[in-house]
């Protein structure tokens, strides 16, 4: 016995089956969330027509501004913090013997080496 798996692309709005080469996946964002929707050519055109006045009045934003917070800085996994602390103390920085080394100290250490 054979088994056949069939994947059908369906219009997410009206449920109609999209044949190979028909329809499109439309990408859009709203309130910081990105979406995609599979639509027939007709529904995609209607979607764009509804959005047209808003798009015309809007300002374009680059993809890099999608997040309002900066990505956390990752420290180097091979960083020798004992050496950083020793260097910091020799150069007038106040650092504890344990715990997190302040970013300003790490930056100064990296700039000096």
Q: 81-112: same fold as 9-64? A: no
CA nearest neighbour of 7 among 43, 17, 35, 27: 17
- In CATH terms, the fold of domain 81-112 is Dihydrolipoamide Transferase (4.10.320)
Output the pTM of the full model.
0.51
Which tokens in the block code for residue 75?
């420290």
Domain layout of the chain by residue ranges? 9-64, 81-112
Q: Residue 98 and residue 85: Cα distance in Å, rounded?
A: 9
The CATH number of 9-64 is 3.30.60.230
Query: Tens of pLDDT along the chain (113 residues)?
Result: 888 887 788 999 999 998 888 899 999 999 989 999 999 999 999 999 999 999 999 998 876 655 555 555 554 456 788 888 899 999 998 888 888 888 888 889 889 88
* SS3 assignment, position 38: strand
């Amino acid at each position: 016995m054979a088994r056949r798996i069939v994947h059908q692309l369906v219009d997410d709005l009206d449920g109609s089956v999209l044949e190979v080469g028909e329809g499109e996946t439309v990408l859009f964002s709203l309130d910081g969330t990105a979406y995609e929707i599979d639509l027939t050519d007709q529904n995609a055109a209607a979607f764009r027509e509804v959005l047209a006045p808003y798009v015309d009045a809007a300002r374009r934003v680059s993809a890099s501004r999608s997040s309002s917070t900066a990505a956390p800085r990752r420290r180097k996994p091979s960083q020798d913090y004992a050496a950083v602390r020793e260097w910091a103390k020799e150069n007038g920085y106040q650092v504890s013997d344990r715990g997190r080394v302040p970013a300003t100290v790490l930056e100064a250490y990296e700039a000096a080496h």
